[in-house]
Structure 1
């Protein structure tokens, strides 16, 4: 179960669909995995289900399909007590297993979803969560890259999209030049979400201005189908017109300038997203509007990024003066 082969290789041969018998022979678990639109999600789900099977000594699909809630409870306890896994990791693994069993039950392959009645650990919104920047730190970050080089202009635009639009690093990397457009008189971005869903978002005028300044220096503003943010060799223009930055490169941009203004380790591109959500809510944006901007299906997910309740400057320790 959950082997490394991909479903398309199983159902195609020499450009022809396999026979119905061959299709019927594909394990339902592999069909579930292949139905996930994101390669990142498929990889994570594969690892999470494999962890469950390995931990409990499950070696065959028939064994997996018959597990009950007691097995899942035992798995959760092992992760929590023996492995000291983070609450977010445990929740993610339980969600992956639950998704698999929902599919198996729906298609008559398993009698029940054993994850349904298992309590998932709560997440502390301050400890162990994504670090956010203060407003002052965010302003320093936005102004850190130089304005007179292609690399600097690109990085200023990337930081602005992260801090003022709140996109995930993969969403930033996936932007095309033509995704910047006008909609009802407002500068907007077309964003490709997880699973391939497309959203159109009105964006901060400063973010739009920085994108245009970068395109002017880089010289690929007319390549509407091409990638917006491109890898550079030094400060030169993109050496591969068709190339695009990967999500890890977006992370490196953020870490570079964070270190440059003296911020300690622990920040990532996701910190820009947490900062955006907190700042927007703090400045009066409605939760549902911030949820849409963040691309969350559930407002409770958006709330997990909200750091308004965490005010270190008011810590009681600062008043313990002897």
Structure 2
């Protein structure tokens, strides 16, 4: 069964051309499913039926996985069992009678302008890592890049003289994003100073480096951000995606149209971007209730 799983993940890369991060995500979900099968003493695909799947989804719910996480798990299992049928590994698909749960629509968590400024003030810019962290925050808030896009940002992606950067997003789609003067200032300062110190005479194509002069990982960026959020006294559950949400919300609250924000975020479907309209409407209601005498 493990060998079949590896063959399937390989097919996602070779035949479907999915990104490395997407394949890792599918693989992790399926490995958790396989662990459940071991506990249930199920060692053959033929022994998996609809009730096995339902019991697993019940197990996921008991583990307090989010609704959207369970939905993604169902999608992963559906595609995997479709592959098994296609490859004649099983005769019947146990997912055919499994309904996909409806997604839970949660408004994205965002930071206020005051909280953003408090976060930006945390890094000690008299130190090399402080300059890097301040630059990192400025770039994330100025561009709305995903954490993977920030980690993979290379020197060749920067067109600072034109006020632009390029990035490769989901589906290996390239997009060009404007970047403001403040973020450009910090980038130039970091590239000329702290980054050279971190390199210690070596070379690297990547913009953001760790203390050893290597490319910062997504996990490293996430860990650093969590520490800075605590120091800023922000009690919200902040992740790199929160900065991206805050970027989009700031644009919409200041008059940007939805199509422009869609392009900047790299959303393939505008329906993904439309969730931010609920955030901005909530903001408008709060302002109205606070300042209108007849509210």
Query: TM class by shorter-chain length?
Result: 0.7 to 0.9
- The Cα of 1:180 is off from its aligned counterpart by 0.7
- 1:94, 1:115 within 8 Å by CA — same for their partners in 2? no
Partner Cα separation in structure 2 for residue 145 and residue 116 of structure 1: 53
Partner Cα separation in structure 2 for residue 107 and residue 303 of structure 1: 39
CA distance change for structure 1 residues 248 and 30 in 2, over 3 Å: closer, same or farther?
Answer: closer
1:159 to 137, 158, 168: 137
SS of aligned partner of 1:308: helix
1:308 to 267, 280, 283: 280
CA distance change for structure 1 residues 165 and 115 in 2, over 3 Å: closer, same or farther?
Answer: farther
Matched, 1:93 2:73: yes
2:112 to 130, 134, 137: 134
User: Counterparts of 1:1-322 in structure 2 under 5 Å?
Assistant: 1-3=1-3, 27=7, 29-35=8-14, 37-53=18-34, 55=36, 57=40, 58-63=42-47, 67=49, 72=53, 75-80=56-61, 82-101=62-81, 103=83, 114=95, 118-126=99-107, 131-181=109-159, 186-194=162-170, 196-218=172-194, 220=196, 226-232=205-211, 239-240=212-213, 243-264=214-235, 266-304=237-275, 307-310=279-282, 314=286
Partner Cα separation in structure 2 for residue 274 and residue 106 of structure 1: 40
Partner Cα separation in structure 1 for residue 252 and residue 96 of structure 2: 34
- 2:128, 2:195 within 8 Å by CA — same for their partners in 1? no
Stretch of structure 1 that moved more, 199-208 or 101-110 = 101-110
SS of aligned partner of 2:27: helix
SS of aligned partner of 2:193: helix
- The Cα of 1:229 is off from its aligned counterpart by 0.9
Residue ranges of structure 2 left out of the alignment (5+ in a row): 291-295
Partner Cα separation in structure 2 for residue 202 and residue 105 of structure 1: 47
- 2:131, 2:190 within 8 Å by CA — same for their partners in 1? yes
Normalising by the residue count of structure 1, what TM-score does the alignment of the two structures yield?
0.70
CA distance change for structure 1 residues 312 and 122 in 2, over 3 Å: closer, same or farther?
Answer: farther
- The Cα of 1:287 is off from its aligned counterpart by 2.2
Residues 78-128 of structure 1: CA deviation (Å, up to 9, x unaligned) = 533x333211211221222233345556667676693697132321314xx
SS of aligned partner of 1:100: helix
